[in-house]
């Protein structure tokens, strides 16, 4: 299993993204899985790739993204959606899911913005809705078990995982007033939820770059969810219920992270 976790912005911004680092560590603990990273290139690098007709490649092994089994994007902001399409174009992967054949990698997405997946539905083979620590392992396992099967069979296997939404498997109908709604009897998608943060996997051997980054420090998630629940705030609703790490767990993790990385600062 060879896949890339892609951050649709510059390396300097994306390296400190805690969600991507968590999934990166979890996947690479699996003996049969190799997860790499990919980032949106700066304008000069993009121009060089296009001029030389070189495909966008993974960060670690420089493997063209089009040769991988899957490409997973983290959706942190709607403003990065055009970057995603640009990265797929640079990778020479067909933009629309319906245009991809069996040889093309499966393209999927997770993160805060997938609670409104439809704007990117034509371009994604599937979405992972909710917390990813457990779901990403199940996704990787399903991809491994269906590696030699057609694309449609892979999507059907993935759709059986709780929290996975594969748009191609959900027919829609247009109402007389122009609204597009799921066809009758479409199965319900339930978001994934990690209930115990103390038991959840958290990496202590973080990737430490040679270059300057925006968030040049260690980071640890002390809680997930929000106690305020403001009605205008998406995260305050979609990350409920509030879950906290214990002080003992936070202290232990911070000691290990600082010992392993050499960082002199940590953000909570």
* Location of each CATH 3.40.50 domain in the chain: 2-182
Phi-psi region of 258 (alpha: psi -120 to 50; beta: other; left: phi over 0): alpha
Give φ, ψ of 123 to 5 degrees: -110, -10
Give the 3-state secondary structure of residue 42. Answer: coil
Query: pLDDT of 126-137, one tens digit each?
Result: 999 999 999 999
Closest CA to 259 of 208, 214, 209: 208
Residue 253's pLDDT is what?
A: 94
Residue 214's pLDDT is what?
A: 75
Residue 183's pLDDT is what?
A: 74
Residue 233's pLDDT is what?
A: 86
Q: What span, in angstroms and rounded, lies between the C-alpha atoms of 77 and 168?
A: 24
Domain spanning 2-182, CATH class: alpha beta
Residue 137's pLDDT is what?
A: 97
Q: What span, in angstroms and rounded, lies between the C-alpha atoms of 71 and 35?
A: 10
Residue 215's pLDDT is what?
A: 75
Closest CA to 121 of 75, 167, 72, 80: 167
Phi-psi region of 178 (alpha: psi -120 to 50; beta: other; left: phi over 0): left
Residue 140's pLDDT is what?
A: 98
Residue 228's pLDDT is what?
A: 84
Q: Which residues of the chain register pLDDT less than 70?
A: 184
Query: pLDDT of 6-19, one tens digit each?
Result: 999 999 888 888 99
Give φ, ψ of 139 to 5 degrees: -65, -45
Instruction: State how far Cα 68 lies from the chain centre.
Output: 15
pTM value is 0.92
């Amino acid at each position: 299993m060879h896949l890339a976790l892609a951050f649709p912005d510059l390396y300097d911004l994306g390296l400190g993204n805690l969600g991507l680092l968590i999934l990166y560590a979890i996947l690479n603990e699996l003996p049969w899985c190799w997860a790499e990273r990919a980032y949106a290139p700066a304008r000069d690098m993009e121009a060089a790739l296009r001029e030389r007709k070189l495909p966008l490649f993974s960060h670690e092994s420089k493997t063209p993204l089009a040769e991988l089994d899957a490409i997973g994007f983290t959706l942190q902001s709607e403003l990065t959606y055009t970057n995603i399409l640009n990265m797929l174009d640079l990778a020479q992967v067909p933009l629309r899911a319906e245009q991809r054949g069996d040889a093309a990698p499966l393209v999927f997405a997770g993160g805060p913005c997938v609670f409104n997946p439809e704007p990117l539905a034509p371009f994604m083979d599937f979405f992972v809705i909710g917390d990813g620590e457990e779901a990403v392992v199940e996704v990787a396992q399903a991809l491994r078990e269906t590696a030699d099967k057609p694309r449609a069979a892979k999507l059907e296997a993935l759709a059986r995982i709780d929290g996975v939404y594969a748009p191609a498997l959900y027919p829609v109908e247009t109402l007389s007033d122009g609204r597009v709604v799921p066809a009758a009897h479409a199965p319900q998608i339930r978001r994934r939820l990690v209930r115990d943060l103390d038991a959840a996997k958290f990496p202590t051997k973080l990737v430490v770059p040679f270059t300057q980054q925006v968030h040049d420090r260690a980071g640890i998630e002390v809680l997930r969810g929000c106690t305020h629940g403001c009605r205008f705030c998406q995260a305050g609703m979609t990350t409920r219920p509030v879950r906290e790490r214990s002080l003992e767990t936070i202290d232990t993790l911070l000691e290990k992270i600082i010992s392993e990385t050499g960082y002199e600062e940590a953000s909570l």
